[in-house]
Structure formats: C-alpha cells, structure tokens
A = this chain, B = another copy of it.
C-alpha cells in the first residue's frame, strides 16, 4: 500500500489536481481528462492509481473531512467563552482563506445530499457537536454567556465563515473586486468576531470595545 516514491508523488499530484477540478465542476462535471491534464500525467494513470472516478473523489473528500473535523479542540469548558469562540471563528476563517477548494468540494457534497459522507456526518460530526454543545451549555449555565442554542450556533458559524470560500463569486461581485485578498479576509473576520461574540453576549477578548474600523492587530494568513 505504501508504494514507491513515484507512486506517492503521483498520487499527491493527482489528488491536488482533483481537488481543484472537483471544486469547480462538482463530481459529475469533473472529467478524468481534465484532472489528468492538470496533474500532468496520462489520463489512464488516474485509473491506475485510483481505480474509479468515485474512488478518486472519495480520496479527495477524506482530505476535506479531516480539515473539517479539526479545529474544535479550542472549545473546552476550562476556557473563557469569548477567547474560545473568537479563536474558533478565526480558525475557521483561516481555513476558508487557505483551503477554499477543499471547502467547495465539501459544500458540493453537502449540497447534493452528502451521498458519500452521510455516515461520517451522523456519526463523528454529530458526536463532536454534541460534546462541544455540552461545553457551551455549561458556559451558559455558569452565566458566562447569553443563552444561545449551541447546535444552531455551530451552523451559523460554519455558514458565515465558509460563505467566503464557497460563494466567493457572490462576495466578490458585491464588493466589486476580482478576488478576495488578505485585507478582505481580515475585514470579514473582524466583522464576524464582533457580530457573533456580541450576539452571544460577549466582548472580544483582545479587541478594544471601540467600534471604529481601524483594528488593533493583524493576524497571520
């Protein structure tokens, strides 16, 4: 299974190209031809390394799922909610900025009813959200934040952060830019942190209470 160096390299090349193509065309719209051309390998090698188009798609999805399920470690009862939630939102936005194609592949899969990852969603993801929802309920019970439905809070954070990757074309059209730059992402992040923390009855930990548009610090991207 481990295979030689050539195999490893080619598989990595193909997976990257596949993510790019699947993100733009969806599963049905993507062609093995396009992926092969982009990866710089002969078309039929795709079938050599990944038996079918579906197998290749699943391999790409596995990568996006790993990204998707990460990052929630920040949310623990021992943390202060304003710190944990702010860090979580920032982490999710960094993910949208750094891996927009992974986000789009995942979004496309959900949009079409999640045929390939249904089990993971109602298994691992559901369990993960249940755990983290418990933490949020504890914060609420302690009076550390306003009463917010924890599950729906996750839906809102996911939707609000991923929209910058998934629906970039809409965001760009409204903002009048050709693509989202670092500054755009910084503005969007600050907007979301303020809006959502205030919505949870919290104040951003490190930011001035001041609502002016100039920010105190800039975050890496």
Contact = CB atoms under 8 A, between A and B. Distances in A.
Interface in A139-185: 146-149, 151-156, 158-160, 162-164, 166-167, 169-171, 173-176
Contacts of A174: 121-122, 125-126, 129, 151, 154-155
Contacts of A187: 149, 152
A210 to B, nearest CB: 9
A191 B136 CA distance: 15
Contacts of A176: 122, 126
A194 B72 CA distance: 24
Given A159-B163, A195-B148, A24 B113 contact: yes
Given A104-B111, A111-B111, A198-B201, A118 B158 contact: no
Interface residues of A, number: 60
Contact of A114 (B113, B170, B199): B170
Specify which of A194, A195, A196 lies most central, judged by the most chain B CB atoms within 10 Å of its CB.
Answer: A195
A26 interface: yes
A206 interface: no
Interface string A197-216: 11111000000000111000
30 contacts: A24-B113, A26-B26, A29-B29, A107-B167, A110-B166, A110-B167, A111-B111, A111-B166, A114-B173, A121-B170, A125-B173, A125-B174, A126-B173, A126-B176, A147-B211, A147-B212, A147-B213, A149-B191, A153-B191, A153-B195, A155-B160, A155-B170, A155-B188, A156-B192, A159-B159, A194-B199, A195-B196, A198-B200, A198-B201, A199-B199
Given A118-B173, A126-B174, A160-B160, 13 more contacts: A24-B112, A24-B113, A25-B28, A29-B29, A29-B112, A107-B166, A122-B174, A122-B176, A126-B173, A126-B176, A155-B163, A195-B200, A196-B199
Q: Which 7 A-B pairs have the closest CB atoms?
A: A28-B29, A199-B199, A121-B173, A159-B163, A147-B211, A195-B199, A152-B191
